[in-house]
Copies of this chain bind each other. A is one copy, B any other.
């Protein structure tokens, strides 16, 4: 009866650990997990039909308003990680994702994280996407 598809609330992304991501502890520097969450999130949004380069071209900026990570097991050069991003909720103005970073098999939990985001226009002023970017709202409303 309908071709409206509910977008997947969970997205799996794979990252190969790079040597330049390690530090003198011989493990990945903790700041890079924050970057991996971004990799996962932007790839996820592209798969939802919202590639971020196009959003910016259309004048919609999606900054990070909060980020957190708990580090469980270090990752090392030579390893690959799986990042499972989950759209936690969208409150009309802001949205939040959680992330689980594991080994490829999902047996080792390396870290868990969370980020929060809002929508701004080119002048860095908050916007109501329901009004100004309904095509974006159409995707996010499934996560309300």
Please, what's the 1-or-0 string for A1-42, where 1 marks a CB less than 8 Å from any CB in chain B? Answer: 000000000000000001110111111011110110011001
CB of A124 closer than 8 Å to a CB of B: yes
Residue of B27, B61, B64 touching A30 (CB-CB under 8 A)? B64
Copies of this chain present: 4
Tally A residues with Cβ within 8 Å of B: 38
Please, what's the 1-or-0 string for A38-80, where 1 marks a CB less than 8 Å from any CB in chain B? Answer: 1100100000000111101000010111111111001011100
Cα distance A76–B23 in the bound complex, in angstroms: 11
When the two chains form their complex, are residues A31 and B35 in contact, meaning their CB atoms are under 8 A apart? yes
When the two chains form their complex, are residues A23 and B23 in contact, meaning their CB atoms are under 8 A apart? yes
Given A51-B78, A68-B69, are A38 and B18 neighbors across the interface (CB < 8 Å)? yes
